[in-house]
Amino acid sequence: MRELSFKLILVSVLSVAAIDVWQRLFYKLGGLPPTNWKLTGRWLLVLLRERIVFNKSLSNTPAVTGEAAAGWVLHYAVGGVYVLVYYVLWKHVSLLTPTLSDGLVFGVISVVVPWFFFMPAMGAGLCARHTPRPLYACSAALATHSVFGMVLGHLLGVLV
């Protein structure tokens, strides 16, 4: 059990790190800035303090001490949850296999979380409709989650 836990944590960290690298590369090539984890941390800390889930004025909310660290921790924790979901769907439900193709499918499906929860919760609206370029933001999220899913599927097959 301890060995499995270590492997799943390793898959989680490497898969999330892959999307961090992807976002930096995408920024260099396409100009879309990577996710602002400080703002994500601010959302989390305001949620914990004030119980506001859907914060329409988050970008106007004053900075909160520790928001950058909180954002990065949440980012990697959510990645860990995705790894556990994929693992359960593979080992206990037999719905997925640890492959690039199933990883891609998982990644594409997983993008519903930012489109329909995180973007609205952080004030960007459903599918980022309150941003200057909603289609670009949603496409970037789709690409990022696709990369995450493929790396996740591949690493589960190699390491677990």
pLDDT, averaged across the chain: 96
- φ and ψ at 121, to 5 degrees? -65, -30
As a whole number of angstroms, the distance between CA 102 and CA 105 comes to 5
The CA-to-CA distance between both ends of the chain, in Å, stands at: 12
The string of pLDDT tens digits covering residues 136-150 is: 999 999 999 999 999
Q: Are 147 and 19 contacting, i.e. CB atoms less than 8 angstroms apart?
A: yes
The string of pLDDT tens digits covering residues 36-81 is: 999 999 999 999 999 999 999 898 999 999 999 999 999 999 999 9
Please count the other Cβ atoms lying within 10 Å of the Cβ belonging to residue 124: 22
69-154-36 Cα angle (round to 5): 25
